[in-house]
C-alpha cells in the first residue's frame, strides 16, 4: 500500500500501516541516539526548553507524536523475537496443562463425591483395588470411573 510519509511527505510503500518511510525512521532513530541535545530528532529544528528551563526533546507536539511512533516501532522490532518466543512458551505451557489435565487428587475427590465417599474412603477403596488387581492407583481409578460409567 502506498502511503505519504508523515515526515518527508514522499510516497513510500507501507508495510503494516506504517506512516513514516524507512529512511526517515532510520534517521530519527539515529538522531535519538546520537543527535545533539536541544535539537529535535524528528525535524532537526532547535527543540527549545520547557518553562522550567529543561531542554525539550521535541520541538513540537507534531514531532513528539512522530517520535513516539518511532519509539514504539523500534521497541516492537527489538522485542519482536522475544515477544514471539514468550507467546510460544505460553502456548506450550497451556498445552502441557491440558495434557496433564486434572490431578489425581482432584479425580479421587470427584469420584468420592459421586459415590458419596469421603476422600479418605475413596482413596482406601482405590488402594485396595490396586493391590488386589496388582495395578497402579491411576489405573484403578480409571477402572472404577469406567465401571461406573462416569464421564469426566
Chain residues binding Zn ion by CB under 5 A are: 5, 7-8, 21, 24, 40, 42-43, 59, 63
Report, in Å, the least distance between residue 1 CB and Zn ion: 15
In total, the chain counts a number of residues equal to: 152
CB of 96 to Zn ion, least distance (A): 46
Complex with Zn ion: residue 70 or 140, whichever CB lies closer: 70
Distance CA 17, CA 3 (A): 8
- Of the pair 57, 129, the CB lying nearest Zn ion is at 57
Which residues have CB under 8 Å from 101's CB, separation 6+? none
Q: Which is nearer to Zn ion, 10 or 92 (CB)?
A: 10
Amino acid at each position: 500500500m502506498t502511503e505519504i510519509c508523515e515526515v518527508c511527505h514522499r510516497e513510500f510503500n507501507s508495510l503494516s500501516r506504517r506512516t513514516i518511510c524507512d529512511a526517515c525512521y532510520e534517521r530519527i532513530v539515529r538522531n535519538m541516539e546520537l543527535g545533539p541535545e536541544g535539537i529535535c530528532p524528528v525535524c532537526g529544528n532547535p527543540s527549545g526548553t520547557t518553562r522550567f528551563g529543561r531542554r525539550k526533546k521535541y520541538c513540537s507536539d507534531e514531532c513528539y507524536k512522530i517520535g513516539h511512533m518511532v519509539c514504539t516501532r523500534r521497541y516492537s522490532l527489538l522485542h519482536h523475537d522475544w515477544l514471539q518466543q514468550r507467546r510460544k512458551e505460553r502456548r506450550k505451557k497451556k498445552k502441557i496443562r491440558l495434557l496433564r489435565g486434572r490431578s489425581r487428587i482432584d479425580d479421587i475427590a470427584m469420584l468420592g463425591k459421586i459415590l458419596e465417599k469421603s476422600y479418605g474412603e475413596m482413596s482406601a477403596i482405590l488402594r485396595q483395588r490396586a493391590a488386589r488387581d496388582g495395578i497402579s492407583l491411576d489405573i484403578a481409578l480409571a477402572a472404577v470411573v469406567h465401571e461406573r460409567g462416569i464421564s469426566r
